Amino acid sequence: AICTSTFCAFYHLVAFALLQVGGNMSLRCLGFCGVDESVDVELLKLLGARYPRAEFGVLFREGKEGTPRYPSDEWVRDLATTAAAASPPVRLAAHLCGRRLSDLLDRGDVSWVRQHIVPLGFRRIQVNATRVNGVELPDKAAAAKNLLAAIQELQEVEWIVQANDETKELWEPLATVATPPFNAALLFDASCGCGKLSSRYPAPPANGIRCGYAGGLGPTTVVDAIRALRTGVARGRVIWLDMESGVRSMADGRDIFDIAKAAAVCKALEAESWEDRSPIMELVPPPPLPSNVQVSGHPLLAHKLTLMRDQSTPVREFRSLLREVTFHVGYEATSGLRTAQRSDVVSPSGPVPADKACRVAEMIALVPIMRAGLGMVEAMLELLPNAVVHHLGMFRARTGRPIEYYSRLPRNSTCDLAFVLEPLIATAATVSAAVSKLKGWGAGKIVVLSVLVSRAGLCELQKLHPEVTVHAVQVDDELKDDRCLLPGLGDAGDRQFGTPAGNPLSKSVLGPAFTEVCGVARGPEDADGRTAKRARVTPTMTPSPSLGPQDEPVTKVLGDLALYSGLDDIPPPSPVESSATQLTTHDGAFGPAPARMNWGAPTPELRGPVLATSRHRNQRNAIGAHSGGYSIYRALAVMSNSLDEAYTPKFGRTTPVARIGPFPKWADRKAIVTIDPYGHAISEGFAPWLERGYDVRPTIAVTKAHIELPECKDALRLGRLTADGAVLSPDGQSFVTKAAIEPVWYLPGVAERFGVPEQRLREAIFEETNSMYPELLTRHDIKLFLPPIGGMTVYIWGDPEKIPDESVELTVRVHDECNGSDVFGSDICTCRPYLTHAIEECIRTAQRGGTGIVVYFRKEGRALGEVTKYLVYNMRKRQEGGDRASEYFNCTKEVAGVTDTRFQVLMPDVLHWLGVTKIHRFISMSDMKYDAIVSTGIKIVERVEIPPEMVPSDAQVEITAKVFAGYHGGKAYEGAKDKSALDTVKGREYSAATTYGKSVTEGGGALGTAQGPGVCKRPAGPPGAVAASGRS
């Protein structure tokens, strides 16, 4: 005997092999490119409704709008509205040509596509990178990289690359890579878009990338082409066909899109069959249904399901049919209910014997999976009026993983029998997750009620939950590419509730989201709900509008970079709906319309501001809140009425005290992914947004200060430093420029740094923050995240404007916070001594005419936190043999499970923000920091270790372990590279004593130095003047 799930897998393998032999080929869609104003959009809607696989392609080429094959912006909007309102929605594809495509391939700029094409409902985008389409590519290798980046960045659309000899450098990498992007496809067109019929068709690549064919197709040629493909290279594949010239005609001297020719092509293909099922497939019987599945064979139910499948069935009738079908399926599913006898029943004719009177003896719960399952509740309540109803809100994410957004299962009450109501089961991922949740809740028995199910989904459900019974009306054998049933009945939720399938221009769906569609600015709506038309602003460089005296920036650092070409594309802030609190939001749903964010754009205007305040909930383009963890204190201030949540700060006089930037790396979306490079200049770079009423907040503040450290005074007294009255005063004060920086993460860039998909990064943060940020999973249209972690502070000695000049000496230390040492002088580590040593080096560099930088990161305890750090201290001191260099890293791993989570790969961003390209003296021994910096292209000339005399006795363990592990030690720490040093260097020991009188006397016994045996141990007492001052 073979189990059903195994047989299913075997069946699909055999079927696939037979498909390769039997010539099976299917058409996923049929593309008609070049639709324009010569055809009424209502006719396209009718043709799309009659042939749902028909797809209409719109050519976008700047300067040709309104000419044949290139429709006007207004017509495109009309088409998008009509297509989205159709049932099913009409398929649309965008064919990019000319400058729009050149910008994408030359610079990797997808902002126009993201802002103007995707919102209109185009789900496929074709790249026509040929000369006849107005595209010249001087650097095709760079264009290929930018195209791949665009494919990876905009994963919500399918990218089609026109494949021919002229575009070989673009499409060949996609055809040869082992695993192509799931949203990439190739259209083979040897004529380069000129409409010449191909004499032969290339075979689809072996890596499985989706393919289509074009070139000279039309009513008279399409049948021969489809037959040649089915018996030739496309045998066993799912492809599409595309045509343009073949469906055009001349009428009254005008070049028109001929809807009659398009209809003729559809009729011809329908006669040939969209689905070509090989007769040999009949030799392979479908796998048997799992034993726990009960499929109704009732002819009336089959009749009603047929009506439900029909796309012309109106919403009201669909709901009624679903209710009827549910009632009858539920009637069969309840045939095994447990009952108990009743002896208290009296009929009009007398008492009813107990063996003829009964009642349902089980506690029953109905659990609809929202929203589609809601339509099954009423019918089941008619059958089981005493059943309780518990709702589960779930949906399937792009990755196929179910996402739960609502659950109110009572904690202390369960049921004997739970009926899960789900009209359609495709992959079974969602229903399986619901069953698992009900099992964990404690449901005694679970029965799934459905209308239409897939064979693969049933096999999967049986494999995971073999004890669960499923009742359904029919089984579909196939799933489409998007994991939906084929032929199916559409989206059961949309069919029940009449919701528009993503109508992008419906006032009820997106409201004021579109600030500009296809280059036409949209303004306030007229009284009748339509948008008032306004003339497009001619791009002339004008300065930002003047603001009030409290908003006008006192200093400016961006120069011409802050100039705007026009202001009409900045939408007005949308009002906040406060009648309900949203648990989360979803991309594509009503309400959210995030402000433009094109990370890495060359100007503030093109990029857009970071919006993360609660005032702009619909237009936020960042997940999280400003100030990270301190946002909780803001909440307390609002809650206690100490702060008016509507208050808007005045930033005019808060502008930077020094000019930092702009630098080329600010426009490199790969170089800076963890901070906003314009974060210190928002009142300059985003003045128009502020004037419109947006609450844009700085994420960087640049100020100046005089720093007074005991170590500097000691260095003056001992002669290590000399006062010059400019950098260092005679009383030990040094003059610095300093910048406080809050993190702003560009999620695609952060994921790329770690070499993982963006989705994996989002899921990890979501899960490890205990679901604090659900929008990481529900809002893929938002790419920014303000993590609740500490930021950093940059201290600069000398002129900040000299930093980019590689001929000027630059000293740098990147320092990770250690509060116990840095502030209170704890001698268990070298943090404060190394920090003060770096400050001295920065002062001396500035006095020589150079610049010194110390970047102070808030990464306490190797970013594991101070609590974890102190736990590690206790383990180190209490382990057998005391605190030893050989166990230094092991103790951290024993406590935290990892030795370090600072991930220096994110650290160099701040150096690129400062304009650093060359570091002459790097004050650090860390190999991780050094490797992270040089890997980004920054040159380091010299690495400077901490002087041995500055290392405290108890810190010898740390320095020995680090040098042995690979830290740069120079000649001073050669001894630490010997393994014997790990066993000889020892720190203090702690006992189990907790009484103060005992514990205060512990802590002696530090032995050995990182320089190795034979080196004289430093005298007892403070480790030189530096460390002594640090503890005072």
Distance CA 683, CA 719 (A): 45
Distance CA 993, CA 929 (A): 39
**Tokens coding 481:** 């590419």
Contacts of 627 (CB under 8 A, 6+ apart): 634, 742
Closest CA relative to residue 656, chosen from 730, 556, 778: 556
23 sits in the region (left: phi over 0; alpha: psi -120 to 50; else beta) called left
Q: Which residues pair with 57 in a beta bridge?
A: 33, 93
Closest CA relative to residue 614, chosen from 582, 640, 642, 641: 582
**Tokens coding 450:** 């459905």
Burial (CB count within 10 angstroms: exposed 0-12, middle 13-18, buried 19+), residue 41: buried
DSSP string, 270-301: HHH-SEE--GGGGGSPPPPPPTTEEE---HHH
73-85 and 41-50 are packed helices; what angle lies between their axes, rounded to 10 degrees?
30
**Tokens coding 826:** 């704890």
Which whole-number Å values give the CA distances from 436 to 472, 690, 764, in the listed order? 20, 49, 22
Contacts of 959 (CB under 8 A, 6+ apart): 830, 946, 951, 973, 976, 1010
Which whole-number Å values give the CA distances from 523 to 22, 532, 575, in the listed order? 58, 6, 15
Whose structure tokens read 């002339």? 540
Amino acid at 474: Q
Q: Are 62 and 73 in contact (CB under 8 A)?
A: no
Distance CA 966, CA 184 (A): 43
Q: Are 189 and 215 in contact (CB under 8 A)?
A: yes
Strand residues in 327-433 grouped as ranges (E): 339-341, 346-347, 350-351, 358-360, 364-370, 388-389, 392-396, 402-407, 417-421, 424-425
Q: CA 810: distance to chain centroid? A: 37
Distance CA 883, CA 827 (A): 14
**Tokens coding 132:** 């006849």
Strand residues in 611-689 grouped as ranges (E): 622-624
Distance CA 740, CA 955 (A): 30
Interior angle at CA 913, CA 910 and CA 919, nearest 5: 70
In this structure, the number of other CB atoms found within 10 A of the CB of residue 957 comes to 28
Burial (CB count within 10 angstroms: exposed 0-12, middle 13-18, buried 19+), residue 258: buried
Q: Which residues are catalytic?
A: 900, 902
Whose structure tokens read 């503890």? 1031
Distance CA 783, CA 773 (A): 13
**Tokens coding 675:** 């901070």
What sections of 418-574 are H helices per DSSP? 429-441, 455-464, 492-497
Distance CA 1009, CA 969 (A): 13
